[in-house]
Amino acid sequence: MSDTSNVQSWIDQTVKGNDVVLFMKGTRDAPQCGFSDRVRRILNHFGVPYKDINVLEDMSVREGVKAYTNWPTIPQLYVKGEFIGGADIIMEMYQSGELEQHLREKGIEFSPAMA
């Protein structure tokens, strides 16, 4: 994708068309950054189904998602069309129990891994 408006439109459709979307470096099966891996592990811990988007495959998507949220870093997590945050925010929300509560409030079906 090269046209900025097309990229923004595609990102918007992806974010709004999926309950949970993670824009990350790498994929859920092969993360290529520690921060992306951290968020992936948290989502996997909860058993949350999500769409992963590898921003390393397309520089226009990588830069486009930063512009979409006015957030400078990757990964970026969206739930029900809403930007939740990057790795540090997701980790804080996970540790406080806020992430699990947020997922439940948004009606996201998940099955946490047994500890």
Q: What is the DSSP string of 49-102?
A: --EEEEGGG-HHHHHHHHHHHT--SS-EEEETTEEEE-HHHHHHHHHHTHHHHH
Predicted confidence at residue 3, as pLDDT, reads 75
Instruction: Kindly state whether residue 11 falls inside one of the protein's structural domains.
Output: yes
Instruction: Kindly state whether residue 111 falls inside one of the protein's structural domains.
Output: no
Predicted confidence at residue 1, as pLDDT, reads 52
CATH number of domain containing 15: 3.40.30.10
| pLDDT beneath 70, residues of the chain | 1-2, 113-115
Query: Taking the model in full, what pTM does it have?
Result: 0.93
Predicted confidence at residue 114, as pLDDT, reads 52
Instruction: Kindly state whether residue 26 falls inside one of the protein's structural domains.
Output: yes
Average pLDDT, the chain: 94
**Domain ranges, residue 87:** 4-105
Report the alpha-carbon distance of residue 48 to residue 63 in Å, rounded. Answer: 26
